[in-house]
Each structure stands twice: as structure tokens, then as C-alpha cells.
Amino acid sequence: MRISSSDLKELNLLKHYRIIRKWACKSYNLNDADLELLIYLDAIDLFTKDDFKKGTYSYSWDNRRWNRLLKKGWIVVWRERNRTTQKYNIYKVSYKCKQLISRMYRIMLGEEEMVTNKLNDNSYSHKVTMVAINLANKDKI
């Protein structure tokens, strides 16, 4: 069965995408570009560093992004190179990353709520974000 654009519209998947993305970035210490790049890489499954570079063209320049995502465990090596038959490593997003993306989908579908107890800040923007998160949590599909 093929999903049409009207089917997606009826699900209202993107209704709270912005606040879900903000919540995920704050909760998991990511920036917007990193999160969206991880979603892109998850969609292509296995990738090379060259695929990663191609995926970064639409995001702000950050020459530390690759090492940061690898060091923090968002990207892992799937197959090591051996300098003879495999000339380069092949990577995939980690289990931690897959769990985050799955959680975002569950929140978009209204199956799960955004947890706000990790987010502690007394700034005005934080308070406004908390109001938006609470409204999104109440607005189940």
C-alpha cells in the first residue's frame, strides 16, 4: 500500500515537528543541523564519509561535526577498512540515534509524550518552549 500526501496530511505528522525537534536537540545536546543530518543518514542506512559530506551541503558549515558525532556515539563504524579489499570504512547511525529518531516519530504520532524534567533553565525562551511542549503533549492525534 502506497501512502499519499493526503494520508500524511491527515496524520498531522509535521504539526508539532518544530517543537519536537527543539525538544530533541535540548534533551540530547544536539544542534538542529546535527539532528536533521542524523535523520538523513538514518534514512540511507549504511554510508561512507563521502555520503556524510554530501549530506552536509544543505547545512551550516561545521568542520568538527563528523568527529563530534562519531565521538559522542551518534555514528558508529559498521565495517572497518582493511587497506586491501575494503578501501574505506562504512558507517551507520548508532542504536542511540535510531532510538531517538523512533522516539521522535512516536511523539509525532501521539504515541508518546515529550519528557520535560531534563530541561532545567529559567530563561524566558525556556519557559516559552515549555509551554509549547505542554501544548503539544496535550494535543494527541
HEC secondary structure over 53-105: HHHHHHCCCCCCHHHHHHHCCCEEEEECCCCCCCCCCEEEECHHHHHHHHHHH
Topology of domain 5-138 in CATH is Arc Repressor Mutant, subunit A (1.10.10)
Mean per-residue pLDDT of the chain: 89
**Identity at 11, one-letter amino acid code:** L
Report the percentage of the chain scoring pLDDT > 70. 97
Domain-wise residue ranges, the chain: 5-138
The pLDDT assigned to 45 comes to 93
The pLDDT assigned to 141 comes to 54
CA–CA dist 136, 98 (Å, integer): 22
CA–CA dist 51, 29 (Å, integer): 24
The tens digit of pLDDT for each residue in 67-124 reads 999 999 999 999 988 877 778 899 999 999 999 999 999 999 989 999 877 666 778 8
What's the predicted TM-score (pTM) here?
Answer: 0.87
Sign of CA dihedral 137, 108, 95, 87: negative
The pLDDT assigned to 2 comes to 86
Q: Could you tell me the three cell numbers for 126?
A: 525556556
CA–CA dist 49, 79 (Å, integer): 12
